[in-house]
Structure 1
C-alpha cells in the first residue's frame, strides 16, 4: 500500500491541490472570479505558465509567459471579491488580493485589483492594477506564509 501525502494548495484554502485549484488546472472552469484568481495564484506558485495564459482574456493576454524560478510565492489573501451582471448580460468580476512572495532572498507584497469577465461559459482574467512593495521584516515578525510562526523559525531569509 502506497502512502500519499497530499500537499496543501498554494492558494491557502487548506484543501489539497487536487480538490482545490488542481481541478481547474486540469480543465474544469472556475465557477467564480475568486476561484479563478486562486487558481491563477496557485499556477504562478507551481510555475504552470500554460494555465495562466489559458485563463487570460484574449484582449490582454501576452504572447508568452516564462517560468520565474527566482520567485517563491508564499501566501495569498483575498481582501474582497465581487461579481456583477451588467445590463448587457456580460458578467464582470473583481478581486482585490495581496500576495506575499520572496525573490532573491527579499520579501515583497503584490497588491492588485483584478478585473474578470464571464464569456464563453467561463471566467477570464482581463487585467489588474498591481502595486509591488518591498517588505523589510524583522526576525521576530510573523512569517508571511501564514503559518503563525516567527519568520526566523519558518521561511528564513
Structure 2
C-alpha cells in the first residue's frame, strides 16, 4: 500500500477543540500592578466575549486552593477591550501575592461562565498555598456561650 494513500484516505481524529474550554495566559507586567487591572487578550475577547463578558463581573476559581473570587470587569466603550479590574481584582492579587512577572493561566468554563486560574511565580513554578482543613468533633460542635460582664456583651 502506498504510504501517501494510506495517510490521505484515513481519517485522523483530532483532539477536542479548545472551544469547549479555551485558555489564555498573561504575564503580569509592572503596568498591570500599577494600574491594578489585567487586560484580557483582544483575540479572546473577540472570540468569546459575547458570552464570557456579558456581565460586569466574573468568577475566578483558583486551582491551588479551590477559592472562588468575584472580580469586576472594565470594558472599553466599543467592547473590544476587557480588563479584570474593580470589585475584587486587587483583593485577589493581594491575597495570592501576585507579583511582577508572575504567569497566570486562565481556563474559561463555558457552562458556568467562570475561569479556572493557575498561578505560577517568577521561577515558573505553580504556587502552592496551605489549605486549612477544619475538623470538628462533638465537643467543638457544641455552642459555647461566653459572658463578658465587663463589656456588657454576650457572645453566642
Could you say which TM-score interval applies, normalised by the shorter chain? Answer: under 0.3
- Highest relative contact order (Cα 8 Å, sep 6+), 1 or 2? 2
More strand by share: 1
More helix by share: 2
TM score, norm. by length of structure 1: 0.25
Structure showing greater Rg? 2
